Amino acid sequence: MHKIASSFVIFFIWGIITSPAQGFITPVEEVPHANECYIVRTDGTRMEGKVKSYDIGEGIKAITIENSNGEKLKVPAVQIREFGVKSTGLVKMELMAESTETIRKFTKG
């Protein structure tokens, strides 16, 4: 029993020493259009709809969504506290590919 406990402690310490302190996952290349989404503004209001477009400069400048009434709402990025998009199979595959690449980078050399 003592040997198992010592092996576990050694493995745990080795894992802490060899693991990176911080790692970043590559972001998704673009926000998928026509996907269900929600936006929580800095004032706390929540909007739901489908992504219609987004303005890009150095980063996303604004996101336009279409609500259930068909009304298009353009929200500047500075007014967005939280933004969520329902994943499609393609987005999930892209995230899986990116995470595999990230794991490969961490385990390499």
Instruction: Tell me the pLDDT tens digit for each residue of 35-67.
Output: 788 999 999 999 999 988 888 887 788 999 999
Res. 108: pLDDT tops 90: no
Query: Could you count the other beta carbons within 10 Å of the beta carbon of residue 102?
Result: 14
- Can you give the pLDDT at residue 13? 61
What is the 8-class DSSP label of residue 5? Answer: H
- Smallest Cα–Cα separation from 39: which of 69, 68, 74, 70? 74
Distance, CA of 94 to CA of 51 (rounded, Å): 19
Tell me the residue length of the chain: 109
Res. 71: pLDDT tops 70: yes
